[in-house]
Structures are given as structure tokens and as C-alpha cells.
Amino acid sequence: MRAGLAGWAFAAPALIIIGVFFFAPVLGAFAVSLTDFDLYALADLRNLRFVGLDNYLELLESRDFWRALGNTCYFVAAGVPLSIGASLAAALLVNSRLTRLPAFFRTVFFAPVVATLVAVALVWRYLLHTRYGLINWGLGGLGLSPIDWLGNPHWAMPAIILFAVWKNFGYNMIIFVAALQSIPGDLYEAAHLDGANGWQEFSRVTLPLLRPTTMLVGVLTVAGYFQLFAEPYVMTEGGPLQSTMSVLYLMYEQGFKWWNLGSASAIAFLLFLIVLAVTALELRLSRRREAA
Amino acid sequence: MSPRLARTLVHLALGALTLVTLVPLLWMLSVSFMPQGEASAFPPPLLPHHATVANYRLLFNSNGAGRYLGNSLALALITTLCSLVCNSLAGFAFAKLRFAGREALLRTLLAALVIPSQVAMMPLFLMMKWLGLVNSYAGVVLPAAAGIFGVFLVRQYALSIPDELLEAARIDGAGELRIFVRIVLPVLRPILVTLAVLTFLGSWNDFLWPLIVLTDQSMYTLPVALATLSREHAQDNELMMAGAVLTVLPVLLLFLALQRYYIRGILMGSVKG
Amino acid sequence: MGREGEVVATLLPQFQRLHPDIEVRVQQLPWSAAHQKLLTAFAGEATPDLCQLGNSWIPEFAALEALEPLEAAVAGSRVVASADYFPGIWQTNVVAGRLYGVPWYVDTRLLFYRRDLLAQAGFASPPRTWSEWRQMLAAIKARVGPERYSVLLPLNEFEPLLVLALQQPDHLLRDDGRFGNFESPGFHRALEFYREAFSNGWAPPVENTQIPNAWEELGRGYYSFYISGPWSIGEFKRRLPPEEQGSWMTAPMPGPEGPGASLAGGSSLVMFRRSRHKAEAWLLLEFLSSPAIQRRFYDVTGDLPPRRSTWEAPELADDPYTRAFREQLERVKPAPRVPQLERIVTEMRLMAARVVHGDLSVEQGTLELDRTVDAVLAKRRWMLARGAGR
């Protein structure tokens, strides 16, 4: 009994905060998404109308929403494999028996992860500058003509993906390194005795044993990449031609620029449902593969 | 392939990756010491001709960087403190204290981990408005003062505390709070450092919520101020880079000092499922 | 707001000598946050007594019934003489027949151009009509080649296209701001000219974030025309090296047939309805509106005064750079006065960028824009039908 009371008392501060500032607003968001909450309603609640699912239907018919969703999916579909590939490559290098100073490299590769996103996004905005940027200067050195990275609607998203890979690969690398270290060394020795070369060792021993980790990293990274916002906010303001407008960016504009809080809440909910569906799909696929 | 060749190749690859990782950060540092306008040239200058701290002076003297630095520091510290208290208490309770509804709560919290925080943002803003907390430190700190992830982080670690240790203390007549302070906290120390580092960095780097809830420039945190500044002074390259250095440097240093703990947090977070 | 707030603080001692019984507290807001901050203040019933408000925000705050109508006070005032103000600027404060603000300073956009480059292309004076302007744009482009341009029209700024559109006889909205009117012949003409500037290579298809420093780039001759406001005078003086100082000049906007209109921008002084110190607030408003104070305000900030009598001061009348602004101010027009203006011009800009990139034709663009704007105005129509929120 005493422990029961104490348990509640100990858990209470955290539970109250999570309940009041997370669960309640999440439920509230659904309620708001069924209204036309806007500036007029903010001024006077009598100007609030219940609109049922109209916000959702309008979104599903709006070009902007599909555009934003398409951009976000592009970012996820290209960014996640690239990020994970880079993470795995970095992890293999850092973890290699041949590497001297692995701790040093690990720290270096991790630095972009902790660096403040807004700040390094600004740095990249200049690195990517058409005329004065280091990247185009480098391309020029290779004999390539300069690319208008952030000004050309076809290149802006690849530029943001490039930036995101740079910023994030260190995170998953850490997880991969830990997983690699947990692979018993005798498995490699056995493969070696069987006459396997380096590539065969990698594809027959390392990759299969890393599969659970890869799956986990994939699910987490997909969910995270769906929440693209600060990169376009700082680097392109959603442009050019809305080519980098993400779902969250659209939500921010609807909500806090135009004060259409009803519509913005509907966007947030739709994004949540999409992420949920994608995650469920990924998990099912991975289970099926494990069963096979 | 000879071992020597393999070793050389591995280090070449590592070197290239290091270059790619560090060049943006080093370039930021270098440009921040250039006089205004120098970086807008082709080919881009790699090092300042005459290094100057004028940009930093300008940031502090006329752009209020001291204020933003103070805001960022204060907010990150307060948030970290709150999060340490709330999450360690709750994490311990969920691991070691039996109470009615514990398992159901635990499952609910775990399921809620998949809800992105942005879903809550619009009503949260309205709530803050009604509470009068828009544009206050409390408006930023409260939503981050406890978190599901933090609770689980502590709980995972606290599970390893042997029950006998707690029972022995109870038999000696110690109250739960006393047991928590005297026995549990010392054991939890490493994970609390992890939690502190994660919370501090998360709060320092947070952007969207402070951008929404802080409306007065004098309340801005460094990232929000930097983003605002970059929209108003898009042309002042060198000034922006100095601002970026100022924003990034504290967290990089903190990370370097405590990276062991930080990495532990990531690994525990990734295997919690 | 911003710099203006600091300057007002320095002018206040004089006001307090005149009215020792009134205590004034100044609060400064940065421009980027002012709009949200004021809305939050309004929702939280903490609005100030007297406030500087961007004149394009007046309809929004008027619709929220946050502002005090000022006709009676102006009629009885010996300081605020409406006839002395530039009419286009004055109009920005009138929403549905009621006056909600008094102009404080004006922002309008016109041409900044390179005299030397224009002369090299064979033109002695800046353009007065669109057709003259077209000739110059083409001639300059032919001289500078593919790497440089004639004019900067950043695709993420709505103002240049809005100015071209305001020069037309057709209004941007119809039925008292209930529906979009972008399929009108006038807007077609404006959009077509805008599109042409890019398709002919006169303007680079870039956003202003791609131009690290618009003033230095004009100095470098990356383009020869730049549409900007009074603040750019100070920027050019400060940023261009002495040897380039003689090369730039200002000129009024050319129009379709002759000297053209431009946007009536700027800030007004407004009083909030909830204020409990309206008489005192009005005294301060009159003080800040008097020509003598406005002149001092200009000397310190470079913000242009909205009254003709203030413009008689030698530092304004004799300045070669402000002269074009003086002329332009007689021909400024307000943007549509609806609360959703900012959203509408943003949609206009996004559509125009798609037209420039060839994703849409001019016809498709205007059609789609009308549809979007009609949807944006839906709630306004509902409110008007209910008889609330003019």
C-alpha cells in the first residue's frame, strides 16, 4: 500500500506534465481539426464553426498538400537509404581492424549530429551558393558547370537531402558500430577458413546479422525524416516553386502564418496517420522476410 | 590485396569522410573571422586575409547575441533540471514501485511514443495562450519538463537495481523518498548524466516550438534568433557564420566532454523496443 | 517597431515637456515578430494605447474590431490635416468607409538603376513607359551577355508584380473583396510583362536568398535595375565604395502608358479600442504627426514622411535620391484592403513563379489563382453575410 502510494506520487509529476502538455493537446488537436479555427475565432469564439471532416477533404483536394506530401516522400525515399548506406559504410570503416584511432573518427563523424540544425543549415546554404559556394567551386575543379542548388526547383531537394545525410549519418553509425561489435569474431574466422573473401564475409556474415539493426534504424529514420521542417525553413523557405515545402512546413504556414489552426491540425493528424501506416507496413514486411 | 594496401585504402576512405564532415564546420569558423563582404567572391576564400573579430563584436553589440545566449543557456539548464527530477522519479517508480495501473500506463506511454510532437502543437499553443504562458520561459520549459523517452531511459536502467537493496533499506525503516535520494540516485548517476546531456542538447537545438511560442525578440533562443537574423540579413554572410559558430560551439564542446554518456543514450534508445 | 521604436524614445522628452502630466512608455517590437505579437496581445487583451502598424495590417485588425475609428478626432484636429497627406497613403487607412489610422511614414517602391550602364546602352534618362523600359531591358541584356542581367525581380518577393498589377485599371479583387479578379485583362497584362522579363533573359529567375547582397550586386553590374524602397538609399550609400557612388540613381516607376503607380506601403499610427487613455494617445499621435517632428524623424531614420508640407524641408526637397520618391508618392495606390491580403499576395507570388518557370501559362495561372483566392476569402464572405467583421 505504502509502495503503491509512493509509486503514484513519484510518477505523478512526469505523468501530469505528459498528460497536460502532450496527451490533452493531441486529443485537442483532433477536436480543433474538425473546426474552422482561424484568426476570427481566435478573436471571438462565436466565429468558430464546426465543419466535420471538411478540413481533411479540402486537404485531400488541395494541390499544396499533395505537393508537400510528394516532396516529403521524395526526401524520405531518397534520404533514408542514402543516410543508412553512409552510416553503414562509416561504421564498417570505423570498426575495421585496420583502422587506427577509431575513437577519433567516431567522434568526428558524430559532430554534425550534435551541431545545431539551424546553424549548420545556414552554413550549407552558403556552401551551396551558386556563385560563391565551395561546392560549385569544387564541381568547377572537376570540370563540371555550376549548379544553382537552392534556386533550381530540381536541385533544391537533392541539396537538402545531401545536407540531411551529412547531418545525420553519424547517429546511425553509432548504432551500427555497436551491432558490429556484437558479432562474434569466430564467425569471421570460420568464414575465412571456408575461403571466403572480404566481400563474401560482408554479404554472408555481416549483412544478415545486421538485419535486425538495419530494420530498426530504418523504421526510426523513416519516422524522423517524415518530420522534415527546419532544413527548408532555413535554407529555402519552402521554395523555389514550393519544391522543398514539406508537410510540416505546410502545417507551420497554415497554423502560424495564416492562423488556420483547424486546417493545420488536420495536416498534423494526416501526417501522423501516414507515418503510422508506413511504420506498420515496414514492420510487416520485415516480419514476412524473417519468416521466409 | 596486401594488408598494407588494405590499410592504406581504409585510411584514405576515412580521410575523405573526415574531410567531408569537417569542411563545412571549419569553413564556418574561417568565414566568421572574415571582414564583411570577403566571402562573397569567386573562388571562395578558404582563410581570412586579415582575421577579425568584428562580426562577433557586431553580434554582441548590436544584435543582442548575449541576450540570446543567455536565453538558450537558461532554458536548456532549467529544462534539464526539471527533466532530471521528473523523469528520474517516474522512471524509478515504473521500474521498482508497484502501484495500481502501472502496467497499463506503461503500455499507453510506450504506444504514445509513435505520436509526433507536432500533432500537439496547435492546441498546445492555444493552451499556452489561455494560461498566459505565450512568450515566457515556462511556455518553452513545461512541455519538455518530462518526456516519455526520458522516463523509459531511466526505467530501463533502474530495472537493474537489486530489489534486495531497496528491501533492506525499507526494513531499516527508511521512507521511499529517503531511499530514492540516498540509495537510488547514486546508482542512477550515469544514466542521469546521459539524460542530462540528451535533454540539454535537445533543448539547445530545439527550433520549431520556441519559434512558435516565443514572440518577443528579447526572449528568443540562439537558433530562433539566428534563423530570424538570417532572413533579415541574408546578405551578411560573415555575420551569419559568426552566429552559427556561437550557436554550435557550446554543444560541440559539451558533446566532446561527455560523449561517452551521450552515445550510451543513443544505444539505449535504439534497443528499447 | 525596430529602429523606429528607438527613435521615438529620443523624441519623447520634447513631448513630455509639452504634456508633463502624461506618462509614456515605449515598447519595441522587431518587425519579424510584430504581427504575431500584436495578435497575441489582442487575444490576451493587452493591446497598447497607441501603436505603429504596417498599413497592410490595418484591415486585419479592423476586422477584429481591435482599432478605434479616428474620423471624428481628425476632423477636430488642427495638426492632422488629411489634405496635406498623399492621397494613396491616406487611403490605406480607410477600411469600408471608416478611418482607422494616420499615416506615419511611407514606403513605396520604385526603380534604382545604374546611370552609367544605361548611358552605355544609349539611354540618357530612365524609362517613363513600359515600352521604353522594354527597350532598355533588351538593350542592356544584349550588351552584358548571358552571365548578367538587366533587372532583379526576386521570385520570392511579391512587391514587383503587385506594383505592375496596381498600375492597371482593374482591381485585384471584386465585389468588395469577396472574390479574386485576377482573370481581368489588366492583371493579364501585368503578369505577361513579368513573365516576359524572365523568358527574355532580362531578369535572373532567382529568389533573393540567392543574391547574397542586392546592393553590392547592382554596384557590380550584375543587373542595372532594382525595384526597392527608401531604405535602399541608405544601403547604397553605406555599402557601395566611393568610386561607385555616382553611378546609381532613383527613378519613378514607369507605367503601361506613362508614369506609373506604385504600392502605397508604410506604417500608420493607430489607437486600440480597448485603450483607456484615448485622449492622451491622440495627443501623442498629433505630436508625432506634426511636420517638425516628422522632419527630425526623417533626419534620423531616413523613413519618408507622408505629408507634403514635410517634404518642403531642404534635406528632402533637394536630395537627388529622394526626388523620385516625392514624385512617386503622388501616384501610389493601396493594395486590396482585406484581412487576407498577405495570404493573397503570397498565392499570387507562388503562381507567378510557376508561370515564370513555364509550369503554367498566363491563362492557367490567373484561373487557378482566382480559384485559390476565392477559397481564401470564403470565411470573409461568411462573416460579411452575417454582418460582422467588415
Please tell me which residue, B114 or A135, carries the higher pLDDT value.
Answer: A135
B117 belongs to a structural domain: yes
Determine the Cα–Cα distance for residues B96 and B180; give it in Å rounded to an integer.
Answer: 11
| Together in a domain, C281 and C257 | no
Name the band, by pLDDT with cuts 50, 70 and 90, for residue C389: very low
* E strand or H helix at C99: strand C98-99
Q: Which residues pair with A78 in a beta bridge?
A: none
Determine the Cα–Cα distance for residues C202 and C148; give it in Å rounded to an integer.
Answer: 9
- Interval C356-366: pLDDT, tens: 999 999 999 99
Q: Which pLDDT belongs to residue A3?
A: 60
Q: Give the number of domains in chain B.
A: 1
Q: Is the pLDDT of residue C34 over 80?
A: no
A200 belongs to a structural domain: yes
From C179, C223, C183, C230, select the one nearest C203 (Cα to Cα).
Answer: C223
Residue range of the domain that includes C193: 110-262
Q: Do A26 and B119 touch (CB under 8 A)?
A: yes
Q: Do A153 and C357 touch (CB under 8 A)?
A: yes
Q: Is the pLDDT of residue A51 over 50?
A: yes
How many of the other CB atoms lie within 10 Å of CB of C238?
8
Maximal C-alpha separation, chain C: 66
Q: What is the DSSP letter of C262?
A: E
| Together in a domain, C170 and C123 | yes
Q: Which three cell numbers stand for residue C126?
A: 530612365
User: Would strands C262-263 and C332-333 be described as parallel, antiparallel, or unpaired?
Assistant: parallel
Q: Which pLDDT belongs to residue B119?
A: 86
| Together in a domain, C81 and C197 | no
Contacts of A49 in chain C (CB under 8 A): 382
A263 close to A58: Cβ distance less than 8 angstroms: yes
| Together in a domain, C7 and C71 | yes
Determine the Cα–Cα distance for residues C7 and C29; give it in Å rounded to an integer.
Answer: 13
Q: Is the pLDDT of residue C337 over 70?
A: yes
Name the band, by pLDDT with cuts 50, 70 and 90, for residue C388: low
Half-sphere exposure of C252 (CA within 13 A, CB side): 21
A227 belongs to a structural domain: yes
Locate the chain C residue with the closest alpha carbon to A40.
Answer: C64
The residues, any chain, with a CB within 8 Å of residue C302's CB and separated by 6 or more, are: C230, C231, C233, C234
Interface probe with A: pick from C65, C379, C380, C390, most Cβ of A within 10 Å: C379
Q: Is A254 helix (H, G, I), strand (E, B) or coil?
A: helix
Determine the Cα–Cα distance for residues A94 and C142; give it in Å rounded to an integer.
Answer: 56
Determine the Cα–Cα distance for residues C227 and B47; give it in Å rounded to an integer.
Answer: 35
Residue range of the domain that includes B131: 64-270
Contacts of C36 in chain A (CB under 8 A): 256
A6 belongs to a structural domain: no
Report helix angle B137-144 to B185-205, nearest 10: 130
Q: Give the number of domains in chain C.
A: 2
From C95, C252, C259, C266, select the one nearest C167 (Cα to Cα).
Answer: C259
- Interval A227-245: pLDDT, tens: 999 899 888 888 788 899 9
C155 close to A151: Cβ distance less than 8 angstroms: no
| Together in a domain, C102 and C122 | no
Name the band, by pLDDT with cuts 50, 70 and 90, for residue B234: low
B29 belongs to a structural domain: no
Q: Which pLDDT belongs to residue C179?
A: 97
Q: Give the number of domains in chain A.
A: 1
A256 close to B212: Cβ distance less than 8 angstroms: yes
Q: What is the DSSP letter of C265?
A: E
Distance to chain B for C297, nearest Cα, Å: 21
Interface probe with A: pick from C32, C42, C157, C209, most Cβ of A within 10 Å: C209
Q: Which pLDDT belongs to residue C236?
A: 93
Residue B29: burial class (beta carbons within 10 Å; 0-12, 13-18, 19+): middle
DSSP-assigned letters across all residues of C132-178 = HHHHHHHHHHHHH-TT--SEE--TT-SHHHHHHHHTSSS-SEETTTT
Q: Do A40 and C354 touch (CB under 8 A)?
A: no
Q: What is the DSSP letter of A145?
A: P
Q: Which pLDDT belongs to residue C31?
A: 67
Q: Which pLDDT belongs to residue A112?
A: 96
Tell me if chain C has a CB within 8 Å of the CB of A106: no
* E strand or H helix at A82: helix A63-95
Q: Is the pLDDT of residue A77 over 50?
A: yes
- Interval B213-227: pLDDT, tens: 887 778 899 999 998
Contacts of B239 in chain C (CB under 8 A): none
Please state the rounded mean pLDDT for residues B84-88: 96
∠ Cα A230 A234 A238 (to 5°): 80
Determine the Cα–Cα distance for residues C289 and C104; give it in Å rounded to an integer.
Answer: 7
Determine the Cα–Cα distance for residues C283 and C49; give it in Å rounded to an integer.
Answer: 12
Radius of gyration of chain A from Cα atoms? 24
B44 belongs to a structural domain: no
Distance to chain C for A51, nearest Cα, Å: 12
Please state the rounded mean pLDDT for residues C47-60: 90
A31 belongs to a structural domain: no
Name the band, by pLDDT with cuts 50, 70 and 90, for residue C348: very high
Q: Which three cell numbers stand for residue B18?
A: 573526415
- Count helices and strands (H / E) in chain A: 15, 0
Determine the Cα–Cα distance for residues A86 and B21; give it in Å rounded to an integer.
Answer: 12
Half-sphere exposure of C9 (CA within 13 A, CB side): 10
Contacts of A14 in chain B (CB under 8 A): 86-87, 89-90, 146, 150-151
Q: Which pLDDT belongs to residue C185?
A: 97
| Together in a domain, C37 and C121 | no
Phi-psi region of C262 (alpha: psi -120 to 50; beta: other; left: phi over 0): beta
The share of chain C scoring above pLDDT 90, in percent, equals 70
Spell out the SS3 assignment of C266-290. EEEEEEECCCCCHHHHHHHHHHHHC
Interface probe with B: pick from A10, A248, A261, most Cβ of B within 10 Å: A10
Name the band, by pLDDT with cuts 50, 70 and 90, for residue A121: very high
Q: Is the pLDDT of residue B247 over 80?
A: yes
Q: Is the pLDDT of residue A1 over 70?
A: no
C155 close to C349: Cβ distance less than 8 angstroms: yes
Q: Which residues pair with C250 in a beta bridge?
A: C112
Q: Do B39 and A217 touch (CB under 8 A)?
A: no
Alpha-helical (H) ranges within C290-336 are 291-301, 314-317, 320-329
Q: Do B40 and C36 touch (CB under 8 A)?
A: no
Q: What is the mean pLDDT of chain C?
A: 91
Please tell me which residue, B2 or B16, carries the higher pLDDT value.
Answer: B16
From A166, A167, A126, A169, select the one nearest A149 (Cα to Cα).
Answer: A126
Q: Where are the beta strands (DSSP E) in A64-211?
A: none
Q: Which three cell numbers stand for residue B199?
A: 535533454
Please state the rounded mean pLDDT for residues B242-263: 93
Q: Which pLDDT belongs to residue C347?
A: 94
| Main-chain phi, psi angles of B23, to 5 degrees | -55, -45
The residues, any chain, with a CB within 8 Å of residue A35's CB and separated by 6 or more, are: A41, A48, A49, A50, A51, A262
Tell me if chain B has a CB within 8 Å of the CB of A171: yes
A248 belongs to a structural domain: yes
Q: Is A66 helix (H, G, I), strand (E, B) or coil?
A: helix
Q: Which of A10, A252, A279 sits opposite B90 (nearest CB)?
A: A10
DSSP-assigned letters across all residues of C11-67 = HHHHHHHH-TT---------HHHHHHHHHHHHHTT---SEEEEEGGGHHHHHHTT-B
Residue B90: burial class (beta carbons within 10 Å; 0-12, 13-18, 19+): buried
Q: What is the DSSP letter of A165?
A: H
- Looking at residue B250, its amino acid is P
Determine the Cα–Cα distance for residues C83 and B147; give it in Å rounded to an integer.
Answer: 62
Residue B230: CATH number of its domain: 1.10.3720.10
Spell out the SS3 assignment of chain B. CCHHHHHHHHHHHHHHHHHHHHHHHHHHHHHHCCCCCCCCCCCCCCCCCCCCCHHHHHHHHHCCHHHHHHHHHHHHHHHHHHHHHHHHHHHHHHHHCCCCCHHHHHHHHHHHCCCCHHHHHHHHHHHHHHHCCCCCHHHHHHHHCCCHHHHHHHHHHHCCCCHHHHHHHHHCCCCHHHHHHHHHHHHHHHHHHHHHHHHHHHHHHCCHHHHHHCCCHHHCCHHHHHHHHHHHCCCCHHHHHHHHHHHHHHHHHHHHHHHHHHHHHHHHHHCCC
Determine the Cα–Cα distance for residues B176 and B183; give it in Å rounded to an integer.
Answer: 10
A47 belongs to a structural domain: no
Residue range of the domain that includes A84: 59-291
A68 close to A246: Cβ distance less than 8 angstroms: yes
Q: Which pLDDT belongs to residue A2?
A: 59
Q: Which pLDDT belongs to residue C201?
A: 95
Q: What is the DSSP letter of C365?
A: H
- Interval B6-35: pLDDT, tens: 889 999 999 999 999 999 999 999 999 998
A53 belongs to a structural domain: no
Q: Which residues pair with C332 in a beta bridge?
A: C262
B7 belongs to a structural domain: no
- Is the torsion defined by CA of C344, C345, C349, C351 positive or negative? positive
Q: Which of B37, B134, B232 sits opposite C216 (nearest CB)?
A: B37
Locate the chain A residue with the closest alpha carbon to C351.
Answer: A241
Q: Which pLDDT belongs to residue C33?
A: 63
C48 close to C28: Cβ distance less than 8 angstroms: no
Q: Which pLDDT belongs to residue C250?
A: 96
Q: Is the pLDDT of residue C72 over 90?
A: yes
User: Would strands C265-271 and C102-107 be described as parallel, antiparallel, or unpaired?
Assistant: antiparallel
Q: Which three cell numbers stand for residue C350?
A: 507562388
| Together in a domain, C301 and C254 | no
Q: Do A148 and C42 touch (CB under 8 A)?
A: no
From C147, C297, C228, select the one nearest B235 (Cα to Cα).
Answer: C228
For residue A26, give Cα distances in angstroms to B26, B117, B120, B121, B139.
42, 9, 5, 8, 17
C229 close to C223: Cβ distance less than 8 angstroms: no
| Together in a domain, C179 and C215 | yes
**Which residues of chain B from 191 to 210 reach within 8 Å of chain A, CB to CB?**
201, 204-205, 207-208
Distance to chain B for A131, nearest Cα, Å: 7
Q: Which pLDDT belongs to residue B135?
A: 83
**Which residues of chain B from 52 to 111 reach within 8 Å of chain A, CB to CB?**
85-87, 89-90, 92-94, 97-100, 102, 105, 109
Q: Which three cell numbers stand for residue B74?
A: 537558461
Q: Which three cell numbers stand for residue B73?
A: 543557456
Chain C interface residues (partner B, CB cutoff 8 A): 29-33, 36-37, 40, 43-44, 208-209, 211-216
- Interval B127-171: pLDDT, tens: 998 888 888 999 999 999 999 999 999 999 999 999 999 999 999
* E strand or H helix at A163: helix A156-181
B154 belongs to a structural domain: yes
Tell me if chain B has a CB within 8 Å of the CB of A56: no
Residue A260: CATH number of its domain: 1.10.3720.10
| Together in a domain, C250 and C147 | yes
